């Protein structure tokens, strides 16, 4: 797709991704600060998506200050999320379970774990996995050392901030300590790179993830996050 095509992945400061498994659904992520986005260009992008057969568009997780821009375009609330942060003021514990670097040849297994671990809306397809890996200048992908793989984590770093982009353990292997080990690895990696805060967002109803993060020293941030949705049919 040429870079001036309205659906180019970074058109008008928005990265656009149409789902591979459902071409009527697209996801948009602001690549520039939201106040710099153009309302007209963004509406044009939505109209082009609509003409291409897209019926629903979802934003990435947005802070409250960025939500109003999308609300003015006709987006409404899809789901509120919890944002948690770890500022390294409490001691870190080393991972108890071994992990190794996740390679490109692991992607199919990573996607299979993701499919089992997440509800349909949140599932990664290959472009979404690539997007998560490329979202930050530096990224660490870790998997457990079992064969076949049963768990993975993707952590990204941009300057002094790091983001736990994805964490998933196959349902048949949960509650055996691998999730905790992957988070411990992400924390140690971030600390060694002088990161001031590791951020993670999760669904409000995701009790398991919330318990895991809080038990490891993450605390809830005051800023809420939300995914917004736009529908071609309203």
Q: Map the footprint of ligand COA across residues 212-231, applying CB under 6 A.
A: 212, 215
- Contact between 95 and ligand COA by CB under 6 A: the answer reads no
Nearer to ligand COA, 169 or 226 (CB): 169
Smaller CB separation from ligand COA, 46 or 179: 179
- The binder of ligand COA chosen from 206, 221, 224, 232 (CB under 6 A): 206
Cβ atoms of residues 197 and 161 within 8 Å = yes
Stretch that binds ligand COA, among 14-22, 128-136, 169-177, 225-233 (CB under 6 A): 169-177
Choose the stretch contacting ligand COA; rule: CB under 6 A; options: 5-13, 27-35, 59-67, 165-173: 165-173
Residue nearest to ligand COA (CB): 179
Q: How far apart, in whole angstroms, are the C-alpha atoms of residue 120 and residue 67?
A: 24
User: Can residue 207 be called a binding residue for ligand COA (CB under 6 A)?
Assistant: yes
Site for ligand COA (CB under 6 A): which residue of 152, 154, 180, 228?
A: 180
**Min. distance of Cβ 157 from ligand COA in angstroms?**
18
Nearer to ligand COA, 50 or 174 (CB): 174
Considering only residues 100 to 159 of the shown chain, the ones binding ligand COA according to CB under 6 A are 117-118
Contact by Cβ (8 Å): 166, 114: yes
């Amino acid at each position: 797709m040429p870079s001036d095509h309205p659906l180019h992945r970074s058109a008008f400061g928005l990265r656009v991704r149409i789902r591979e498994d459902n071409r009527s659904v697209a996801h948009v992520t602001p690549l520039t600060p939201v106040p710099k986005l153009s309302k007209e260009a963004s509406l044009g992008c939505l109209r082009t998506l609509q003409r291409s057969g897209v019926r629903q568009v979802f934003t990435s997780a947005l802070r409250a200050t960025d939500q109003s821009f999308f609300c003015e375009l006709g987006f409404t609330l899809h789901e509120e999320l919890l944002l948690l942060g770890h500022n390294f003021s409490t001691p870190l514990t080393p991972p108890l379970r071994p992990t190794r670097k996740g390679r490109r040849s692991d992607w199919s297994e990573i996607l299979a774990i993701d499919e089992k671990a997440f509800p349909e809306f949140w599932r990664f397809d290959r472009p979404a996995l690539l997007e998560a890996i490329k979202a930050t200048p530096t990224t660490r992908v870790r998997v457990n050392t079992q064969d076949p793989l049963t768990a993975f984590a993707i952590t990204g770093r941009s300057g002094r901030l790091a983001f736990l982009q994805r964490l998933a353990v196959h349902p048949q292997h949960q509650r055996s300590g691998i999730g905790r080990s992957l988070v411990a690895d992400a924390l140690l990696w971030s600390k060694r790179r002088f990161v001031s805060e590791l951020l993670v967002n999760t669904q409000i109803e995701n009790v398991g993830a919330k318990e895991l993060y809080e038990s490891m020293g993450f605390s809830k941030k005051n800023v809420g996050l939300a995914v917004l949705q736009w529908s071609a049919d309203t």
